[in-house]
């Protein structure tokens, strides 16, 4: 009975994380389309939300990696997964409050790894999976998106550089509707699957599923719905950073960065790499900006984003470990997760209330 209560809390927390993932990552998907005027904000966000939902049903390779290749399922308990999720949500909200587009994916993996280490030592981590499927792709992906976007924009300017700007801009704005849609689909295939992977891991840990099992349909559908709802709610603070503060973009740059991002994410999803869409699209934006003019990129803002990226895994791991320690103070039953959930919710409400009191934007409608 107690383990079932913990499982319900874990599933609820995982879906809450998925919601914050969509909320946090909306910027990655729609910011370039909005900032170049290719789509109106509400239309872009609604389209991204629908395509995120659809994308979640396309593949389960990434979910399998998260469930089976990062931590040792034999030593994982639902409480460990719960604490990892708390670490990820906390880090997502911290970076959101500063307007930094850090990686929700790495926050999730960092949180689960941190709580697993706190619970069962370093043997709980599968080094091959963590390094080969998470850390190395994490380093390569933004560089790849940067290079592909840079080469693409160079090619675009060579081909259409002498044509009338009006026709070219209009054309790339139409193109951005497709490339933005493709990016939203790619985001759904990769990001929604991380939550599916974590819920599957909790189900395996609880004995409700056999080790190595694929996510059940209800897990896929609920993860898809949660990320779509989060995306629709939008994260306007980060949209502003991604869409206007890294570079001032034209439609061709928006198209090349979205095209590069989609290509990198879809290729990675095919091989089951749980990639950060945040890293990829920001790498693409920087590449499209730097190829036109190196000084066009506001490297100070870019530096802050890189700093948040570097911090994400260790910070989420530390918070995950702390959350596990707090949970265990109340024993191994359901009381720990219940208390930590209530404490976390109270903290979140307090932060939002304080922000609202100061008059800072807290929701899409205020952006």
Partner 1 sequence: MTLATLVEGKELLETVVASTVAGIGVTFVFSVAIWGVARFADLSRNERPLAAAAAALAAGLALLATVAIVVLGILVMTSK
CA 39 to the chain's CA centroid: 22
**Is 263 a residue that touches partner 1 (CB under 8 A)?**
yes
Phi-psi region of 76 (alpha: psi -120 to 50; beta: other; left: phi over 0): beta
Among 78, 101, 114, 137, binds partner 1 (CB under 8 A): 137
**CA nearest to 30, candidates 178, 155, 180, 150:** 180
User: Which residues inside 167-226 make contact with partner 1, applying CB under 8 A?
Assistant: 167-168, 171-172, 175, 178-179, 182, 185, 189
**Is 159 a residue that touches partner 1 (CB under 8 A)?**
yes
How many residues are recorded in the chain? 367
Q: Would you call 28 exposed, middle or buried from its count of C-beta atoms within 10 A (0-12, 13-18, 19+)?
A: buried
User: Which residues inside 25-54 make contact with partner 1, applying CB under 8 A?
Assistant: none
When the beta carbons of 151 and 348 are compared against partner 1, the nearer one is: 151
Single out the segment in contact with partner 1 by CB under 8 A; choices: 4-12, 230-238, 261-269, 345-353. 261-269
Quick check: 116 and 129 in contact, CB under 8 A? Answer: no
When the beta carbons of 267 and 339 are compared against partner 1, the nearer one is: 267
Compute how many residues bind partner 1; rule: CB under 8 A: 50
- Nearest approach in angstroms of CB 1 to partner 1 is 39
Which tokens go with 361? 């934007």
**Is 63 a residue that touches partner 1 (CB under 8 A)?**
no
When the beta carbons of 4 and 123 are compared against partner 1, the nearer one is: 123
Among 40, 74, 128, 218, binds partner 1 (CB under 8 A): 128
CA distance 276 to 141: 8
**CA nearest to 204, candidates 5, 7, 2:** 7
Please report, for residues 8, 346, 360, the alpha-carbon distance to residue 367 in angstroms, rounded to integers and kept in the order given.
34, 24, 10
**Is 142 a residue that touches partner 1 (CB under 8 A)?**
no
HSE-up of residue 39 (Cα within 13 Å, Cβ side)? 24
**Is 346 a residue that touches partner 1 (CB under 8 A)?**
no
**Is 322 a residue that touches partner 1 (CB under 8 A)?**
no
Quick check: 238 and 262 in contact, CB under 8 A? Answer: no
CA distance 107 to 17: 10
The residue ranges that bind partner 1 (CB under 8 A) are 58-59, 61, 127-128, 131-133, 136-137, 140, 144-145, 147-149, 151-153, 155-156, 159-160, 163-164, 167-168, 171-172, 175, 178-179, 182, 185, 189, 255-256, 259-260, 262-264, 266-273
């Amino acid at each position: 009975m107690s383990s079932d209560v913990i499982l319900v809390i874990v599933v609820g927390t995982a879906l809450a994380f998925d919601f914050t993932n969509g909320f946090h990552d909306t910027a990655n998907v729609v910011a370039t389309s909005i900032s170049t005027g290719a789509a109106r904000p509400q239309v872009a966000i609604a389209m991204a939300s629908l395509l995120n939902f659809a994308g979640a049903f396309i593949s389960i390779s990434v979910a399998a990696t998260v469930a089976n290749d990062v931590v040792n399922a034999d030593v994982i308990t639902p409480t460990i997964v719960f604490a990892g999720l708390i670490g990820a949500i906390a880090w997502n909200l911290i970076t959101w409050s500063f307007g930094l587009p850090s990686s929700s994916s790495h926050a999730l993996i960092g949180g689960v790894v941190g709580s697993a280490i706190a619970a069962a030592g370093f043997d709980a981590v599968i080094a091959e999976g963590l390094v080969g499927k998470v850390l190395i792709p994490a380093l390569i992906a933004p560089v790849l998106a940067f290079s592909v976007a840079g080469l693409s924009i160079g090619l675009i300017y060579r081909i259409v550089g002498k044509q009338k700007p009006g026709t070219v801009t209009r054309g790339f704005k139409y193109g951005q509707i497709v490339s933005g849609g493709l990016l939203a689909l790619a985001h759904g295939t990769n990001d929604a699957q991380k939550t599916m992977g974590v819920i599957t891991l909790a189900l395996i840990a609880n004995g409700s599923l056999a080790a190595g099992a694929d996510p059940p349909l209800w897990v896929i559908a609920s993860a898809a719905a949660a990320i779509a709802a989060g995306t629709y709610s939008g994260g306007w603070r980060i949209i502003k950073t991604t869409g206007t503060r890294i570079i001032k973009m034209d439609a061709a740059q928006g198209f090349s960065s979205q095209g590069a991002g989609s290509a990198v994410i879809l290729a990675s999803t095919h091989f089951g790499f749980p990639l950060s869409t945040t890293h990829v699209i920001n790498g693409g934006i920087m590449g499209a900006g730097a190829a036109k003019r190196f000084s066009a990129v506001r490297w100070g803002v870019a530096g802050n984003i890189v700093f948040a990226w570097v911090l994400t895994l260790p910070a989420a791991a530390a918070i995950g470990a702390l959350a596990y320690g707090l949970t265990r103070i109340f024993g191994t039953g359901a009381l720990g997760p219940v208390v930590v959930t209530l404490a976390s919710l109270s903290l979140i409400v307090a932060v939002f209330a304080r922000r609202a009191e100061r008059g800072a934007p807290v929701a899409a409608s205020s952006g």
